[in-house]
Amino acid sequence: MKNMAKKILVTVSLVLTLIGSLTFVMTYKNIGFGEQFLYQWIASTLIVAITMAPIGFMMVAVISKIVVLVLPRASESKRNVIIGVAMALVMESIMALVTTLNNIEFTTLSELMNVWWSALIIALPLGLLISLMMTTLVKPKLERYLAS
């Protein structure tokens, strides 16, 4: 039981760190550093963590299976890079939407799309870096650790 609690703590800490980093950048792009920044950032991080963590675990499994089906002869490292890029694009898009909806009161769909796009584009380089590191370096080690 103690080992299971440790594994859960490691996983939750990792997820919150990743989500917190990305929502920090997105919240900054949405509202800048002002009085409401800390509150909005924490709120966005928690909302995204509650909604995205389950979706993320599901998406990595689905995307991984699709990549293996489409590229059965590709090396594992090549597949992991493709999975990382795909995960970054999908997850960042959803995270930017959730963060933008939390931070901005919009009156038109066009306004929402513009603010969402700005948040996505500014956070995407960090998201790609994190996702590639996760799929190529962290994920294999984390899977071994969680299986132990």
**Is 31:103 a contact under the CB 8 Å cutoff?**
yes
Cβ-based neighbour number of residue 143 at 10 Å = 10
Q: Which domain holds residue 59?
A: 2-147
Q: What is the pLDDT of residue 76?
A: 85
As for how many domains the chain has, the answer is 1
**For residues 43 and 134, what is the distance between their CA atoms, to the nearest angstrom?**
24
Residue range 74-94, pLDDT digits in tens: 998 899 889 889 988 998 999
Q: What is the DSSP letter of 74?
A: S
Closest CA to 131 of 73, 78, 104, 92: 92
Residue range 12-23, pLDDT digits in tens: 888 899 899 999
pLDDT value at 1 more than 70: no
**For residues 84 and 73, what is the distance between their CA atoms, to the nearest angstrom?**
18
Phi, psi of 72 (to 5 degrees): -65, -25
Whether pTM > 0.75 for this model: the answer is yes
- Letter for the amino acid at 70? V
Question: Tokens for 100?
Answer: 């933008």
Question: Tokens for 3?
Answer: 């080992």
